[in-house]
A = this chain, B = another copy of it.
Amino acid sequence: MEVIVPFSTDRPKSRLSDALSPDERAGFARAMLDDVLDAVSAAGGEPRVLATDPVDVDRPVTVDDRPLTDAVNAALDARLGHDDETGPDEAPEPVAVVMADLALATPAALGRLFAAGREADVAVVPGRGGGTNAFVASHPDFRVDYHGASYLDHREIAAEIGAAFAAVDSQRLGTDVDEPVDLAEVLIHGEGRSAAWLREAGFALDASEGRVTVVRE
């Protein structure tokens, strides 16, 4: 299954600016991207980076500097849209879109998403706050709108076009690393480059206040 991984090179991870410098945010974002790409490959997917600028990565890259929703929809148009070769009765191959900041992604979690996406026309992993962290679609009319509570919007879009919808229940894929509190999740659960990057940068877990947070040495 082709797996599109959108990656923004423009001011990445700005909500981590209290914890990391701009250069550090770029390095950490890249570590997360590499973790996601490795997990996708290990799960049997064929990753393709969809980047706002050229990225030096040992995978296929498509550059599209439009906003996320437009760029993903262009990719869906190219893969799911009706064309001369695909008749209306012929279902397109499913395509996945997995965000580049899912630092806890594992082959097992992605495997569950891919399996759900082979059963349903649209399978979505919701993130905290109702975002859409990853999905698989094979319905020719499915398009995205990442604004706001996009998980609910995507469920509604699926219903409107008559697509069978499945939600995939995964904390690992449901955790997009956006804010300082999310760094604790990477240190607790991450086993890849992102967790190593944080440890090398001096971050450690701190449970002294009851809730678990991170401190930097």
Contacts and interface: CB of A to CB of B under 8 A. Distances in A.
Interface string A132-170: 000000000000000011011000000000000001011
Q: Please tell me how many copies of the chain the complex holds.
A: 2
Q: How large is the interface on A (under 10, 10 to 19, 20 to 34, 35 or more residues)?
A: 20 to 34
A126 B129 CA distance: 18
A78 interface: no
A185 B128 contact: yes
A108 interface: yes
Contacts of A167: 189
Given A170-B169, A171-B171, A188 B151 contact: yes
A193 B109 CA distance: 29
Contacts of A47: none
A205 interface: yes
A42 interface: no
Contacts of A185: 128-129
Contacts of A188: 126, 130, 149, 151-152
A172 interface: yes
A149 B189 contact: no
A171 to B, nearest CB: 4
A212 interface: yes
6 contacts: A106-B169, A126-B188, A126-B189, A130-B188, A148-B210, A169-B170
Interface of A: 106, 108-109, 126, 128-131, 148-149, 151-152, 167, 169-172, 174, 181, 184-185, 188-189, 205, 207, 210-212
Ranked nearest first, the 5 interchain pairs of A and B with the lowest CB-CB distance are A148-B207, A171-B174, A129-B212, A171-B171, A130-B188
